[in-house]
Structure 1
Amino acid sequence: MGHTSPKSLAVAGLLFNALVWGVCWWPFKQLEALGLHPLWATALVYAFVFASIALWLWRSGQLQGWRGHPGLWLLLLASGLTNVGFNWAVTVGDVVRVVLLFYLMPAWSVLVAWCLLGDKPTPMALLRLLLALVGLFIVLKTPETPWPVPESLADVLALMGGLTFAITNALLLKLKDAPSASRTLAMFGGGAVMATLAAVVGLATGVVAVGDAPAWTWLPLVALLAISFLLGNLALQYGAARLAAHTTALVMLSEVLFASVSSVLLGAAQWENRTLWGGSLILLAALLSVTDTSRKD
């Protein structure tokens, strides 16, 4: 029997992480059906993962403070809003549409890198931005509306999640000198904190219900999601540390495939011509982003 190469294991790790994120819409929808709002579910899942990682780091003596790295608080905010936007959107909206709008992230990255990192966009970056925005125009434009505007809460949440995901990636680059454990805690802590705050605000405004389902009905699914996200994050770190950045980005695009196929098969999404055409341009912009990154590696 032949030995599996480290590169193959790294790719497998990235694919596993993409699979986790690509199909996580289903348990979130099931939890909502059981009476647990996706914001409460996100808060519980990320609090569990945050506590698990913090306990492990503390027992191993690797738990470090955030002194000298105030940007970690911005990372907590941005990554938390990313998870709030994505998890809520895939629960209440058409999954394919949500994932495509979320994957405008490479386009937003052009503007975010310009603002946060001072990286002026190249002609190729501007082309990617233009392609992605044309794709956004096509996806959002319906026969009933004169202008392509978000038509639902899911649209708004997906667009917000993609933008804050781009900000998260820029902050990770900006905070590359901060301890990796601190960055990880900031990201999972952000999911717990921002989801809780959003849920509390939602309660006060009547958008989010408390829910009266007994814990035993939804707790196993919450635990499964938490373990899946934790393993997915570990797999992502393993794979990303052993592959070129452009390879990682390319493999992670498989999340769109996992989400699209699973949601269509399970009846949570529909194929529409404008979604296909617009989505193709958005994915083309993402692929060009991968190609552009590979030239810099």
Structure 2
Amino acid sequence: MPALALVFNAFVWGVSWIPFRHMEGHGLHPVWATALIYAVIVLAMGWMRRHAWRAFAQWPGLVLLALAAGFTNLGFNWAVTQGDVVRVVLLFYLMPLWSALLAWLLLGERPTPTALARMALALAGVAVVLKTPETDWPVPASLPDWLGVAAGFSFALTNILLRRLRGAPGESRALAMFCGCAGVAGLAAAAGTAFGAITPLPAAGAAGAWLPWAALLGTGFVFANICLQYGAARMAANVTAVIMLSEVLFASASSVALGAAALDARVWAGGTLIVLAALWSSFARTNGGDDDRHSRILEDKPS
């Protein structure tokens, strides 16, 4: 059951691009959709778990956690709606690279030679994925690319902050992440709409077209979070990380089947290197605990 729970979490995130694109097709931009969905979740959880708010006074770092989780969801949800789904998901799974760098800078945990080797492997995979005949140098070439990379970086930061805030109540950490998802997406949607970069909210009369998709996705996010907490608490962290990589499979299969991504030899080769780096991180163990940090990188995805 714990393994199936984790697979369900990965499935929800791997196919989340489908309802987001349907909602966009009915006039609701993915950034607005993210803000509205998480606002409802925050209102419900904030009411049912009112005691969780008290920890914010004792743990001010929860605000930073909220921001990191908010940028993670904003970037990922926007990217998979606008770009090639497989490409975005692979760039998002650069998390072991960002985690090693952030742990070095913020926690003083110097990466081991094997950790540096995994970083090099992941970077090589990114170079292969990004290097197309139209690009002179393998750097992110579009907004979805940049959003995917930024979301992965934010997720790595989220995991680092979760480690620093492990003494805070779990409900308060979850509430902080949900608040960040609603707040960051809401501010981005309002600012983007004001500057003409994001389409405004559709008329109230059109809600009947996108509201069922929003309800479905919001329900999926809630149950995915419950399944993640259930599964991750009962399985080894490295096993959790490996199972969560099934998100790449779900995203790839669904997007290729529905024409939202293209898999060529370059993407296969680069994606294999990135996934191998993530798997290597998941199974690695050292006496100093550095590699064990990487094995937990997928343990607390801010759903």
TM-score normalised over the length of structure 1 = 0.94
Give the corresponding residue for 1:205: 195
After superposition, what is the alpha-carbon deviation per residue over 1:158-183, rounded to whole angstroms, capped at 9, x for unaligned?
Answer: 00000000000110011000111110
Change in CA separation of 1:293 and 1:224 when aligned onto 2, cut-off 3 Å: farther
The amino acid across from 1:260 in the alignment is: S
The letter of the residue matching 1:164 is S
Q: Secondary structure at the match of 1:101?
A: helix
Match for 2:275: what amino acid? L
Shift of 1:135: 0.7
> How many Å apart are 1:294 and its aligned residue?
8.5
In structure 1, which of residues 210, 218, 225 is the aligned counterpart of residue 217 of structure 2?
A: 225
Any idea what SS the aligned residue of 2:58 has? coil
Q: CA deviation at 1:63?
A: 4.6
Matches of 1:140 and 1:111 in 2, distance apart? 21
User: Contact 1:245–1:294 at 8 Å: present in 2 too?
Assistant: no
CA distance in 2 between counterparts of 1:28 and 1:272 reads: 25
Matches within 5 A, 1:162-181: 162-181=152-171
- Match of 1:66, SS state, is helix
Q: Quote the residue 1:67 is aligned against.
A: 57
Counterpart CA distance in 1 for 2:227 and 2:48 is 17
- 1:294 and 1:264 mapped to 2: Cα distance? 38
CA distance in 2, matches of 1:217, 1:269: 25
Tell me the distance in 2 between the aligned counterparts of 1:88 and 1:194.
13
CA contact (8 A) 2:32 2:201 kept: no
Residue 294 to residue 50, structure 1, CA distance change in 2 (3 Å): farther
For 2:182 and 2:65, the matched residues in 1 are separated by 13
> Alignment length, in residue pairs?
287
Aligned to 1:3: none
Could you say which residue in structure 1 is the equivalent of 2:176? 186
In structure 2, what is the equivalent of residue 261 of structure 1? 253
Task: Measure, in 2, the Cα distance between the counterparts of 1:294 and 1:46.
Answer: 38
Q: Tell me how far apart the structure 1 counterparts of residues 199 and 258 of structure 2 sit (CA, whole Å).
A: 26
Unaligned segments of structure 2, at least 5 residues: 293-303
User: What letter matches 1:100 in structure 2?
Assistant: L
Aligned equivalent of 2:85, options 84, 91, 95: 95
2:93 maps to a residue whose letter is Y
Deviations 1:19-63 (A, max 9, x none): 0001000000101011000000000111111222212212xx555
Separation in structure 2 between the aligned mates of residue 39 and residue 212 of structure 1, nearest angstrom: 13
* Counterpart contact for 2:55–2:168, Cα < 8 Å: no
Residue of 45, 53, 56 corresponding to 1:53: 45
Deviates more, 1:92-101 or 1:269-278: 269-278
> Residue 112 in 1 paired to residue 105 in 2?
no
1:65 is displaced (CA, Å) by: 3.4
CA distance in structure 1 between the partners assigned to 2:55 and 2:100 by the alignment? 31
Are 1:129 and 1:285, in contact at CA under 8 Å, matched by a contact in 2?
Answer: yes
5+ residue gaps, structure 1, are 1-8
Instruction: Report Cα offsets for 1:222-255 as digits up to 9, x if no partner.
Output: 1111111000000000001111111111110111
Deviation at 1:211, TM superposition (A): 3.9
Once the two structures are overlaid, the 10-residue window that deviates more, 238-247 or 61-70, is: 61-70
Aligned to 2:208: 216
Aligned to 1:36: 28
Question: Displaced runs of 4+ in structure 1, greater than 4 A?
Answer: 293-297
Match of 2:15 among 9, 19, 23: 23
- In 2, are the aligned partners of 1:110 and 1:121 still within 8 Å (CA)? yes
Return the TM-score normalized by structure 2. Answer: 0.92
The amino acid that maps onto 2:121 is L
Query: Conserved in 1, the CA contact under 8 Å of 2:37 and 2:218?
Result: yes
Shift of the 219–273 alpha-carbon distance from structure 1 to 2, 3 Å rule, reads same
Residue 283 of structure 2 is aligned with which of 266, 272, 291? 291
2 CA distance for matches of 1:223 and 1:52? 13
Query: Contact (CA 8 Å) 1:245, 1:293: kept in 2 or not?
Result: no
SS of the equivalent of 1:212 reads coil
Return the offset for 1:68: 2.3
Query: How far apart, in 1, do the equivalents of 2:274 and 2:107 lie?
Result: 24
Q: Deviations over 1:96-150 (max 9, x none)?
A: 0000000011111110111111110011110110001111111111112211121
| Percent of paired sites with the same residue | 56
SS in 1 for 2:57: coil
